[in-house]
Structure 1
């Protein structure tokens, strides 16, 4: 594998009920615990390395729709799986860092060291506004998040923490037990704005990037890698929606069918965008690169024959991408297809790495 990277493959838990266009005949909108449990347990069995449980309190596609709760589900999945990493997203404004650090350490113990925390900056304004929680300006949210993760990171490693900042005042706090298998749970950070990149350089183990063309990802990685504060261990992840078939033509035909469904349901997407922070770089990027799926989806280019998708994954690893967080539709069917046809092709290219 180029660069000696062993690629890791994850799946997004279906917290909204679907990651593709609503209305797919073989993919009913279902965000239930039972479905997510079956999906992640099967992903564990199929050999996927991680699952990401995005965090919302209400479904941003419509509050009449179900929404899976992230942290209770993460704890349950940690107990039900054997090897897959459980990554739970967190929006700092929703939970105090002392409380969140304790929850994270408990899931770390339940999982036996298979837990990751994904720090994300809130972008969905109604979720906070309607609960009476102030939705601060973009850069202030990152300043808040920086203090928040500083407290959490210290507590996760077992330090006795005293911290006095603009937003948090913590005095002589220490948590037990800490991880029994490593220094602390892994820290994933999302966001691509200037404050986000600075936070990644200073705090992240893995930076999650949205799916977008190679030249843009290459530019972002180079920017963070060149920052003086970037630790030597910072790694890179990419979100992608996969459409893989026997031939490129079959994959493109399936993508065209998904676009038809997306066009029929575009009102939901437009309503979501209207409720998003316009300063969120993620949505500025999405406007440049039309895609199926969330977080860049098909803009990452994992559409084509099994050989084409495997080749493009190898190209991404050559750029430095280690973790691929994947979406599919219908999710379960296409997840199995990827495990059967694409994973072996990737792994055969570098058998010594697996």
Structure 2
């Protein structure tokens, strides 16, 4: 079992519901007001972190979409404890500009900000903007240079850098990060280039939701790669359906599957716009599921005791941060905080580790 404490996070509803858009219990709402309310609720309930995914246009079509980085800056002021992880697609921001923005939000949040590097899969977002959509491995080559520039600048270095994509000369950002070395860097993606990138520059690797044996193999692969600095830490995306009994949880899963089927035309738009080389699409095709980024494939569907036990099983294999999805979101956040968090704490206490929060 990892020596790091368990941390619970929630995906912000930046493009509405994660399981099904046509759910009468949760009308579609990707507004700033709802995202702010949700993150403040999560903080109050004891969640440790939130992930603000970045899209400039909604991947499902002509629907509302929150802008991640301006929202992150506002949330940094509105919150007091929760970590704010904000995703970034490197082609959308020059690394010098992004590094400056990251340091500013780090200052506003007083050391609670983090970057989630994702190398893009939604073709129209870049192609329609005239930026161009490079092939998969070329995007990762660009991303490696990009994150090196961002990392070194946010660490306070006076940087001169010459690569294939960037030429930075004698550049330094002020003020420096007074809270720590730099904002934490999370990396998504499971392809070979993604694993190399996280081993070199990432602090935490976000794994898409999937079965425990597959997660175990992924962790082992990245953990043995050559690396500078401290070992990589690991996070997992998962959709949670927890109920008093397994039967009730399975009934809710079946209900969400029926609702999700109504979104077939929207999902078809997303599939048509997605780069088929992205490993996430292959992972999600392994089994029926609801939710994004693997969703219920992680198996956090069952009774309260079963879900808590499965979380601990993933933690035993090295998962520290659980980035969770729910529907209906606000109600299920409360249920998770009331029923699952205490069970995990008790189990950890029985193992001699009382802390399920982020260490200083």
- Both structures adopt the same fold (TM-score exceeding 0.5): yes
Once residues 228 and 318 of structure 2 are traced to their aligned partners in structure 1, the CA distance between those partners, rounded to angstroms, is 15
Query: Does the residue aligned with 1:329 lie in a helix, a strand or coil?
Result: coil
Once residues 12 and 230 of structure 2 are traced to their aligned partners in structure 1, the CA distance between those partners, rounded to angstroms, is 30
Work out whether residues 212 and 289 of structure 1, in 8 Å CA contact, stay in contact via their aligned partners in 2. no
Query: Does 1:45 find its partner at 2:44?
Result: yes
Once residues 116 and 85 of structure 2 are traced to their aligned partners in structure 1, the CA distance between those partners, rounded to angstroms, is 6
Work out whether residues 19 and 290 of structure 2, in 8 Å CA contact, stay in contact via their aligned partners in 1. yes
Question: Which of 94, 100, 111 is 1:102 aligned to?
Answer: 100
Query: Does 1:214 find its partner at 2:215?
Result: no
Q: How does 1:186-335 map to 2 (within 5 A)?
A: 186-229=184-227, 231-335=229-333
What value does the CA root-mean-square deviation take over the aligned residues? 1.0
Query: Does 1:67 find its partner at 2:68?
Result: no
Work out whether residues 5 and 317 of structure 1, in 8 Å CA contact, stay in contact via their aligned partners in 2. no
Distance 1:230 1:24, change over 3 A: farther
TM-score under structure 2 length normalisation: 0.96
Q: State the 1:230 CA deviation.
A: 6.0
Once residues 229 and 196 of structure 2 are traced to their aligned partners in structure 1, the CA distance between those partners, rounded to angstroms, is 12
Distance 1:188 1:3, change over 3 A: closer
Once residues 348 and 71 of structure 1 are traced to their aligned partners in structure 2, the CA distance between those partners, rounded to angstroms, is 37
Work out whether residues 224 and 230 of structure 1, in 8 Å CA contact, stay in contact via their aligned partners in 2. no
Q: State the 1:270 CA deviation.
A: 1.9
Once residues 249 and 230 of structure 1 are traced to their aligned partners in structure 2, the CA distance between those partners, rounded to angstroms, is 47
Once residues 270 and 150 of structure 1 are traced to their aligned partners in structure 2, the CA distance between those partners, rounded to angstroms, is 35
Cross-structure match for 1:86: 84
Distance 1:209 1:146, change over 3 A: same
Work out whether residues 142 and 195 of structure 1, in 8 Å CA contact, stay in contact via their aligned partners in 2. yes
Once residues 3 and 347 of structure 2 are traced to their aligned partners in structure 1, the CA distance between those partners, rounded to angstroms, is 12
Once residues 272 and 119 of structure 1 are traced to their aligned partners in structure 2, the CA distance between those partners, rounded to angstroms, is 20
Cross-structure match for 2:25: 26
Q: State the 1:3 CA deviation.
A: 3.8
Question: Which of 155, 170, 174 is 2:168 aligned to?
Answer: 170
Distance 1:158 1:227, change over 3 A: same
Work out whether residues 12 and 327 of structure 1, in 8 Å CA contact, stay in contact via their aligned partners in 2. yes
Once residues 310 and 4 of structure 1 are traced to their aligned partners in structure 2, the CA distance between those partners, rounded to angstroms, is 18
Query: Does the residue aligned with 1:288 lie in a helix, a strand or coil?
Result: coil
More off after superposition, 37-46 vs 174-183: 174-183
Alignment deviations for residues 292-334 of structure 1 (CA, whole Å, 9 cap, x no partner): 0000000011001111100000000001000000000011110
Work out whether residues 38 and 330 of structure 2, in 8 Å CA contact, stay in contact via their aligned partners in 1. yes
Alignment deviations for residues 114-163 of structure 1 (CA, whole Å, 9 cap, x no partner): 00000001100011111111100100000000000010000000000111
Query: Does the residue aligned with 1:260 lie in a helix, a strand or coil?
Result: helix
Alignment deviations for residues 90-109 of structure 1 (CA, whole Å, 9 cap, x no partner): 00000000000000000000
Alignment deviations for residues 231-287 of structure 1 (CA, whole Å, 9 cap, x no partner): 433100000000001111100000000011112222211220111001001101111
Cross-structure match for 1:353: 354
Once residues 353 and 91 of structure 1 are traced to their aligned partners in structure 2, the CA distance between those partners, rounded to angstroms, is 37
Aligned residues: 352
Once residues 104 and 116 of structure 1 are traced to their aligned partners in structure 2, the CA distance between those partners, rounded to angstroms, is 8
Work out whether residues 201 and 231 of structure 1, in 8 Å CA contact, stay in contact via their aligned partners in 2. no
Structure 2 unaligned segments of length 5 or more: list them: 356-360
